Amino acid sequence: MATLAGPEARAQSEERFFFRMACTIAVLIVAGFGFQLGAGRSTFAVPLVFHLHAFVFFGWVALFVCQSGLVAADNVALHRKLGWLSVVWLPLMVVMGIIITITSMQRSGGPFFFDANEFMISNVIGLLAFAGMISTAIIMRRRTDWHRRLIMSAMAAILGPAFGRLMPMPLLIPSGLGWEISNVIGLIFILVGMAADKRRHGAVHPAWMVGLAVGFGWIALGQVLSYQPWAIELTKSVMAGHPGAARPMEAYLP
């Protein structure tokens, strides 16, 4: 009995750990967007596309927390049934993410504390990296150890918008590293997962390494591609004829 209790106890501990991580990520996301709303820097008086984007992305966060909670509560059957919703929801996130990026560029040129081309190109690359990790996790759903770690890594890799809303981003303009810092900081969740694996299992699961590689990789790729001549011209063409074209391509203080 003692030999069975050990692995079972570790499995339950791991499931609770992932649920707590999911809840922490959800709180950070809500806090980031809620802070900007409370500070008067954002408003509900925006075009419909912004509300649709919020519904899709916050809906995903709700699904993420719910799925983690179902596993922690040992309701695997419902977890598997509800998981099929992600097959529809994930492409919807990619589409809405690209649409809202273009809309933001045309409306205001994107956040003023990022270079316009950096925001537009890297934003899409990050979104595609997220979708790739989630898709891989869905394919590997029967390998629970990989499945849950890839999903957690994917969520950590897209926390840039949340942290960016909690950080003094205008103060980072002189460094030119605002985009990198706001996106890298979310990867701390992967490091926490690695530390938990080491403590619980005595070794770090390779899925975390994949998560780190993708997390750093998409940021680096975005920096390389964003400043290519074609990327700058593409950004200008998206903003052309719209209010966003009035902003400089470089990050600036309004």
Position 167 scores a pLDDT of: 93
Long-range contacts of 29-32 (CB under 8 A, 24+ apart): 29/58, 29/61, 29/159, 29/161, 29/162, 31/162, 31/166, 32/161, 32/162, 32/163, 32/164, 32/165, 32/166
Q: What is the dihedral of CA 8, 84, 21, 190, to 10 degrees?
A: 100
Structure tokens at 126: 């990050």
Which band of pLDDT confidence, cut at 50, 70 and 90, is reported for residue 64? very high
Cβ distance 105 to 244 under 8 Å?
yes
Q: What is the pLDDT of residues 218-228, one digit of tens each?
A: 999 999 999 99
Instruction: Evaluate if residue 1 carries a pLDDT over 60.
Output: no
Cβ distance 125 to 216 under 8 Å?
no
Mean pLDDT over residues 169-196, rounded? 95
Instruction: Evaluate if residue 49 carries a pLDDT over 70.
Output: yes
Rounded to whole angstroms, the Cα distance separating 4 from 171 reads 54
121: left (phi over 0), alpha (psi -120 to 50) or beta: alpha
Provide the sign of the torsion angle of the four alpha carbons 71, 90, 181, 27, taken in this order.
negative
Mean pLDDT over residues 243-252, rounded? 96
* Percentage of the residues of the chain whose pLDDT score is greater than 90: 86
Q: What residue has token string 């103060």?
A: 171
Structure tokens at 50: 């912004």
Q: What is the pLDDT of residues 68-102, one digit of tens each?
A: 999 999 999 999 999 999 999 999 999 999 999 99
Position 98 scores a pLDDT of: 96
Instruction: Evaluate if residue 47 carries a pLDDT over 60.
Output: yes
**Number of CB atoms found within 10 A of residue 102's CB:** 19
Structure tokens at 53: 């984007």
Rounded to whole angstroms, the Cα distance separating 231 from 227 reads 6
Return mean pLDDT, the chain: 93
Which band of pLDDT confidence, cut at 50, 70 and 90, is reported for residue 128? very high
The reported pTM is: 0.91
